A and B are shown apart, each in its own frame.
Chain A
Amino acid sequence: MNIPFFPEQASTFAQDVDNIYFLLCALTLFFTALVLGLITFFAIRYRRGNNKVDRSNAPEEHLPLELTWSIIPLILGIGVFIWSAKPFTYVYRPPADALEIFVIGKRWMWHVQHANGIRENNELHIPVDKPIKLTMISQDVIHGFFVPAFRVKRDVLPGRYNTVWFQPTKIGRYHLYCTEYCGTNHSEMGGWVTVMAATDYQKWITTGGAPGPTPTIQETLVSQGASLYQTYACANCHQSQNGVHGPSLYGIYGKERKLTSGQTVIADDSYLRESIVQPESKIVAGYQNLMPAYPVGAEAGQLTEEQVLSMVAYIKTLGTNSAPVAPAAAIPSQPAHPFDGVPHTPPINGLNGTGLNGTKPADKKGTQAVPAAKPGPAPSNVGMMPADGSVPQMPTFKATPDTNPTVKPTTSAPAGNKSSAEPVTKPGTSTVAPGRTPS
């Protein structure tokens, strides 16, 4: 029978963790043997029947000894702390070129969305030797994303995004578990992570994995988000040119936002999500609380986490000085994720070269044209209108904010956010500290 003693090492993180683990095992073994050995030896040697041993001058206290066994554990403890803190910091700093994949936990399955629109359930396909960053959220209770072979784990919370990253080093199939107890079928909420060679992965992600499990190619995440952006007429208030009702969304990702409360927050994924779902909780300085909330939920008219995720993904792609453009259709056969030398110019945007290069679409209030290239009547959007079924209009517009530092296209484009050159996932990924949500 094959009895495993030790988990596979399949990520760059695994070796670091295992080294500390072995050190701790050695320390545990040493001290346990020392204490048990001494206790047994003393107890037998000084048993009450044995009168041949010298019991004279038995000490009652001994300061040097006390200090010895206080200071040695102290030094060892601090040493282990430092050694184990170092790899811990890596977890909080995903490399800028990490491939971002979105994960939604719901009772009791893992739902994975690749940037090009491929979705899978309880399966995650990733390329070997490539940093992978997962942006995760739960639709209901707290879940935990855990791949033992990678030695990574991160809780998946409702209401905010958590991220985890790792770099797989070994091709294979590994367990994926939910580690935060989530109810009846908690132990069945798991699946497999498949690490593939780069070429296999490219084939998989382009063809939708056929004949693999059964992921289905849809629109890219960003184009789904763009469609929703249109459906909900977000541009009515958030246009850059006359975005007087609400702050412009152009180029805000990863930037500091000044709030009416006087605080500043970083506009990271969780902030963007919160501003859709509960806009009243953080109002940008100079604006009023006018925006209706678009809650996530199962009822008719409410958004799903997938939809919010796609809108966040879309807003992240928004450049600095322009209104959004009709999203191009996601073409499943479009070559995706070339890993052969070109770092990260994936087609996940579906907007390559169109959306963010200064094209100015019509931005009349409430009259966004249906994007020409949009495939069909956006079936996934049906039923996701606000509860009353109407296109949301700003009811009353009372005050014109006189300070809006970000609306002026000319001033709001800080150097470095070259969104026209690298339209999609680049902005902000290196500037926010994932995992640290403003609160």
Chain B
Amino acid sequence: MSGITIQPGHIPAERISTQPENYLNWSTNVKDWLLTGDHKRIAVMYVISISFFFSLGAIAAAGIRIALLNYHDQFFQNETYNKLFSMHGIVMIFFFLVPSIPATLGNFLIPLMVGARDLAFPRLNLLSWYLYIIGGTLTLLAIIFGGIDTGWTFYTPYSSIYSNTNVVLAISGVFIAGFSSILTGINFIVTVHKMRAPGLTWFRLPLFVWAMYATSLIMVLGTPVVAITLLLVLVERTLNLGIFNPANGGDPILFQHMFWFYSHPAVYIMILPGFGVISELIACFTRRRIFGYSFVAFSSIAIATLGFFVWGHHMFVTGQSMYSSMVFSIISFLVAVPSAIKVFNWTATIYKGRVWFTAPMLYAMGFIGLFTIGGLTGLFLAALAVDIHLNQTYFVVAHFHYVMVGGATLAYLGGIHFWWPKMTGRMYPEFWAKLSAGLTFVGFNLTFFPQFIVGYLGMPRRYHYYAPEYQTWQVMSTAGSSVLGLGYLIPGIYLIWSLKYGAIAGPNPWGAKGLEWTVPSPPPSHNFDEIPIVTEDAYMYHDEDQVLADKDRAAMGITEQGEEHDV
């Protein structure tokens, strides 16, 4: 692809200090981090900050699971329980899932993948991180000053009139964080349009870039609507104008329309980048070009487009017109088609591949399985008559966790492992990574599968007290969540460990295709000494790549099976 050669040589550990200058080590000055325009540094700052918010959300989840061990829990007050699930939802959605892959892997990889030296607007990119931090801080303050109890959906008139908690603070935080998404989206769109390397046509782009492009479209088109909506809630709450409150002539259902107009597409903001990551992982670890490249690419765009016309499926029981419900229902069924295209194309890619069972590949396979279940259970909720029963029950909770945790989070973890050597220059310990991929998969299913059953039984979500007959399922769920928690905790430990003790990675430890693997790990600040010229399609794997990768890894002290030996 480019003139840059892969260096298969072994870099001894003691030479780390004399490693060539890269984006991490050129300056350790705090100011050079906080005022950086380097997309890679900003990505690292995002990794750190979203990990913090993820931990916060996970702590809230642990509280919820503890409370639900007992059907008449005495450990928390109702009020506290409500604040826990609200905090879990708000933090996980707005401060982890929405920015997770785009702001970290997207920021890091898009310029590298398109052969550019940075994003189109580096300072805008830095601003988006600051907005995220300001938004996050406000929400954090809302939590510290006593929490918020509206749920992440902020339904009116509860949020605008009745709740006595820190709604204004939390909503302001989410409002500001929204601008961070918008800026990131604009940056990606412009970068993909204008800054692709010579020869890198649209249909030579890695599928990750396609997925990020589709995501960016949603961010730019959808986020302003939720910003307006939340602003209106603030206006009603502080100035008592009748917008959503019927006592003042407002309409509470209007809020739901506006909220879901963003928040359903937001689901695709969370999962589309995951699709992109999985396409990269599957291609690399089967040594195959993704089967039906153009179908996979366009299915991302199709999902992003259709996603804007299904918001009413959240509102089948609000009393919205029967015919609107039918239209929303059938369009929701249509989303199944591009989703199915992706899943089947990934499956077909494995056929006649050369499958290499690394931890990222295990995450990818787990993703396909869980996303399949998550997607298919979405059909239950799109089916009008069935949704009447399932709406607002644990079935919904289980469904979106299969998509958001089984899907998006698994993809994020898989991607972090896959590009970890590129980002840090160090390998993660393969054994522990495989173990935690397994634990995550098992723990996840144990946590959320029982919730499908308890949901069909009729247990509503957001219930602190519940009928005793559901307890067995809830206890099972809590047991599973502790396994799942372990599956998250272990990577947290070994990834930090690997920063110092991990095997030093060459530029391309996976023998992967893609421009990001043609530069050293970690890449230099300017990414490419010379802008590469692209002459072939994406994922053009040859057997020689494998040989090179194996040689590279052998030099790093990693054996064929990926088991790690002493460095």
Contact = CB atoms under 8 A, between A and B. Distances in A.
A104 B385 CA distance: 24
Contact of B291 (A44, A59, A146): A59
Interface SS of chain A: mixed
B21 interface: no
B78 A184 contact: yes
Say whether chain B's binding surface is mostly helix, strand, loop, or mixed: helix
B359 to A, nearest CB: 14
Interface in B379-410: 379-380, 382-386, 388-389, 391-393
B17 to A, nearest CB: 36
Interface in A23-50: 24, 27-28, 31-32, 35-36, 38-40, 42-44, 46-48
A295 B322 CA distance: 30
Interface in B447-504: 453, 456-458, 460-467, 469-470, 472-473
Interface stretch (B50-58, B215-223, B344-352): B344-352
A70 interface: yes
Given A27-B376, A59-B291, A182-B158, A88 B384 contact: yes
Interface in A57-111: 58-62, 65-66, 69-70, 73-74, 77-78, 80-81, 83-89, 91-92, 107
Contacts of A69: 340-341, 344
A186 B369 CA distance: 35
B462 A183 contact: no
Contacts of B372: 31-32, 35-36
Contacts of B251: 159, 439
Nearest to A38: B347
Given A24-B383, A177-B460, A281 B249 contact: yes
B62 interface: no
Given A27-B376, A183-B149, A162 B319 contact: yes
A20 interface: yes
Contact of B329 (A1, A85, A92, A281): A85
A195 interface: no
A61 B318 contact: no
Contacts of A281: 249
Interface string A167-189: 00000000101111111111110
B247 A295 contact: yes
Interface stretch (A3-11, A249-257, A418-426): A3-11
Interface size class of B (residues with CB under 8 A): 35 or more
23 contacts: A4-B469, A16-B385, A20-B383, A21-B380, A35-B343, A35-B368, A39-B365, A42-B350, A47-B354, A47-B357, A60-B289, A66-B295, A74-B337, A78-B330, A83-B383, A87-B384, A88-B326, A88-B388, A89-B322, A146-B460, A157-B318, A159-B246, A435-B322
Interface of B: 78-79, 82, 149-151, 153, 155, 157-158, 161-163, 245-247, 249, 251-253, 286-289, 291-295, 316-319, 321-322, 325-326, 329-330, 333-334, 336-337, 340-341, 343-348, 350-357, 365, 368-369, 372-373, 376-377, 379-380, 382-386, 388-389, 391-393, 453, 456-458, 460-467, 469-470, 472-473, 546
